[in-house]
Amino acid sequence: MNEEKKSMGKHSVRIENREKIVITGVVDVSSFDDERISAETNMGYLTVEGVCLHINKLNLDSGELSIDGEINSVFYNVSKEPKNSKGSLFSKMFR
């Protein structure tokens, strides 16, 4: 990962009642729909999966992303870019 991205500020993930997630240290949102949102953070690619997901706030200047909806999973992608296929690494291993 680029050292420049790591130095852009702190990264945090805060989930409230599985209905709202606030992520800081966001560099870009690479894809989104109502079931999956993939974002590049200064600590790697992060994917949020759920139902009726909605980006409530996105401010790339401050690096903040706020998402509302039913949150089912949050995971960091192992690869350098977000995966297009559904499911985490563990779910693919145990099919």
State the pTM of this model: 0.76
Which pLDDT score is estimated for 55?
Answer: 97
Burial call 53-64: b when 16+ CB within 10 Å, e when fewer: beeeebeeeebb
Which pLDDT score is estimated for 52?
Answer: 98
Number of domains forming the structure of the chain = 1
Residue with tokens 């690869």: 79
Q: Interior CA angle at 7 toward 13 and 89, to 5°?
A: 45
Q: Let me know: does 49 contact 34? Beta carbons within 8 Å.
A: no
Q: For every one of its 95 residues, what pLDDT tens digit does the chain have, with 9 covering 90 and above?
A: 555 554 567 999 999 999 999 999 999 999 999 999 999 999 999 999 999 999 999 999 999 999 999 999 999 987 655 555 455 544 445 54
Range(s) of the domain holding residue 50: 3-93
29: domain CATH number is 2.60.40.2000
